[in-house]
Amino acid sequence: MRPNDLLWLFFVFSATVSQATAAGLHDALTAVNIANLLFTLCQLLCGPRHLLHGRMVGAALADAPLRCAAVDLLHIPWPTAAQNHSTASCGTYLAPYIQRAGGRVLRPNTTAAAGENCIFCPVTDMNTMLAQLGIEVGMRWRDLGPFAVYLIMNIAGIFGLYWLTRGRRAS
């Protein structure tokens, strides 16, 4: 599966929403207005567009390096007990926390004797940020199945609405 396949499916989905609406209505202007309303609702609610954006962002930003901005850096002061041990460095002081929560120390060799705070970046890579948004990098194409179901339902809606509004009368 190539990354642009999901985008292609989204375009087919958009067209089939309009076709399903037009199949059920006789007036073209009304069909266009209702199709626009349905498409807007798909954008606002957790529909196929939500699935598309999540997967495209995951495919584009996965495994990318991340640098903290100056605003995002945490300046952690040394506790009083650590100031007495001048051999302790920021890297050894924050190592247990980093093992549990992740992140990185920007200057790991800074000691308490230097009188500087430890500078800590809470995020190391883009995968961590994506996980906070609910985008799992290893599952980039997981939503292809539900996306295809949306598409199949639209196609079924085209034929079903056509049969309900026009086909039943002909037979």
Q: What is the pLDDT averaged over residues 145-169?
A: 84
Q: How far is CA 130 from the centre of its chain?
A: 6
82-98 pLDDT, tens digit per residue, is 666 666 788 888 999 99
Question: Residue 136 and residue 158: Cα distance in Å, rounded?
Answer: 34
Cα torsion 141, 147, 148, 149 to 10°: value is 130
**Residues 12-37, mean pLDDT to the nearest whole number:** 87
Encode pLDDT of 103-119 as tens digits.
Answer: 899 988 888 777 788 89
How far apart are the C-alpha atoms of 28 and 21, rounded to whole Å? 9
